[in-house]
Amino acid sequence: MGRYLWLLLLPLFLFGSSVKPFKWNNGESFLRFLEHKKLPLALFYSLDKEDQQLTEDIPFTANCQMLVSDKKIIQQILIPVNDELQLQIYLTSKKRYKIHVIPIVAEMYHEVLYTEIQTVPYDDILKATGSTRLASRFVKMFKGRVNFKKDIKPGDPLVIVYEQKYRLGKYFSMPEVAGAMIEIGGKRYAVYKHTDGRYYDAKGAQFEKFLFKLPIRNARMTSGFTKRRYHPVLHRYRAHVGVDFGARPGTQILATGEGRVCFCGYSNGYGNTIKIRHANGLVSLYAHQKGFKKGIHNGSKVKQGEMIGFVGSTGLSSGPHLHFGMYDGSTPINPMSVMKKKTEGFTGKEYRQFVAIRTKLDKIFKEKLRTKPVKRKAFDFQNTYYVDKDTFKVKAF
Ligand SMILES: [Zn+2]
């Protein structure tokens, strides 16, 4: 308890100290980072395997912050690893550096946007909300289904039902869209998020086309994707930004989709690793491999289902398995949310669940089309701030 108290009191003693924001240097390993900042490398080794591996997934867009005293001594560094967790390096009162994984404080709100088209959806959503992320999410959702350039006319209404995180009154992280609709010349196009996290049209047909397939035959998932999980035994926050498939060493690893190999090599955490960039911009990752298929190299073109390597236990791995990741830019997403689904269309209980979701969203759409509410505007959150671990209160400098 007490060891974090000083963090809370820190601002009071910080006359002469300064906060320096910086971006995570893409491609720099955590060890190199510590070296550059003249911090003890032991900090990295004090982390356990899972957290060490996590340092390889620090997004290159991560907004980090460093607190430096007037004597140029680093007091604290915050490095977000995703939108839920951050690494905190800090100097204790005994002048020793420590490192912890702590949560990022944000509040989640349910929001609804109603707006009318004046130019194009992207610009109008941005104008109404100030959120580039919501605007691009909306456009991405309807891409291929609705021709925004051709068919749309001024005055056409759109509604988005979503969850948005805020930090200190500003948008933080990606909005989670529950459902959205746009009316074009009186014809309605709507999408609904089902319990499986995927989007469907009113008839229950899959809206987004995902062509990815599992990277292992007869795959058995041993660990799922989570951005933040509290470990009740270890009393710490963990993240696992991919899925693990248990398999015997030497099991064939298959490319999840067509693409071009953009990394084929060794990394400390992930061991022998291949990354493949796909046509839709997503990048898939295959870690801990025993070895690569002969001839696979940086720049290789691969087809879906093509064998690329073999299951192993290289890097920070506790046993033979495939760690499989999927990235949108440098942000890890749940790979299972973009895998091709075996069945088409809902039946039975699943159908009833979908109808309930659709009915609820349709009600919201109808009400907003009638009341035409005006949206409160905010701005995207840029900086990271200091967090007290016990109270989870944010201290801004
Ligand atoms: Zn894993």
The CATH number covering residue 92 comes to: 3.10.450.350
> Average pLDDT in the 364-391 region?
69
Residues 227 and 328 in one domain: yes
Residues 191 and 236 in one domain: no
Q: Which of 180-194, 248-262, 294-308, 337-351 has the lowest mean pLDDT?
A: 337-351
8 pLDDT more than 50: no
In a domain, 308, yes or no: yes
Split at pLDDT 50, 70, 90, the class of 395 is: very low
170 pLDDT more than 70: yes
Ligand 1 midpoint to CA 78 (Å): 24
Ligand 1 midpoint to CA 323 (Å): 4
In a domain, 201, yes or no: yes
Given this model, what pLDDT does residue 205 score? 80
In a domain, 21, yes or no: yes
Q: Do 331 and 84 contact (CB within 8 A), yes or no?
A: no
> Average pLDDT in the 195-208 region?
82
Of 134, 113, 114, 108, residue with least CA distance to 122: 134
Ligand 1 midpoint to CA 240 (Å): 6
In a domain, 397, yes or no: no
Long-range Cβ pairs for the range 358-364 (8 Å, 24+): 358/192, 358/202, 361/161, 361/178, 361/179, 361/190, 361/192, 362/190, 364/112, 364/159, 364/161, 364/179
In a domain, 15, yes or no: yes
Split at pLDDT 50, 70, 90, the class of 214 is: very high
Given this model, what pLDDT does residue 42 score? 95
11 pLDDT more than 50: no
pLDDT in tens, 267-311: 888 999 999 999 878 999 999 999 999 999 999 999 999 999 999
Residues 164 and 141 in one domain: yes
Residues 249 and 332 in one domain: yes
- Domain hosting 85: range is 2-104
Residues 100 and 151 in one domain: no
Split at pLDDT 50, 70, 90, the class of 384 is: very low
Ligand 1 midpoint to CA 332 (Å): 12
4 pLDDT more than 60: no
Ligand 1 midpoint to CA 270 (Å): 9
pLDDT in tens, 63-104: 888 888 888 899 899 998 888 888 999 998 889 999 988 888
In a domain, 380, yes or no: no
Split at pLDDT 50, 70, 90, the class of 380 is: low
Ligand 1 midpoint to CA 384 (Å): 27
Residues 350 and 320 in one domain: no
Split at pLDDT 50, 70, 90, the class of 342 is: low
Q: What is the mean pLDDT of the chain?
A: 85
164 pLDDT more than 50: yes
10 pLDDT more than 60: no
First to last CA, the chain: 23
Q: Which of 109-118, 135-144, 148-157, 168-177 has the lowest mean pLDDT?
A: 168-177
Ligand 1 midpoint to CA 242 (Å): 6
The residues, any chain, with a CB within 8 Å of residue 370's CB and separated by 6 or more, are none
Given this model, what pLDDT does residue 59 score? 79
Given this model, what pLDDT does residue 345 score? 75
Ligand 1 midpoint to CA 243 (Å): 5
Residues 225 and 326 in one domain: yes
Residues 227 and 325 in one domain: yes
> Average pLDDT in the 221-250 region?
87
- Give the residue with greater pLDDT, 307 vs 319: 307
In a domain, 378, yes or no: no
Ligand 1 midpoint to CA 282 (Å): 18
Look at the chain and report how many structural domains it folds into.
Answer: 3
Residues 89 and 170 in one domain: no
CA distance linking residue 289 with residue 152, whole number of Å: 49
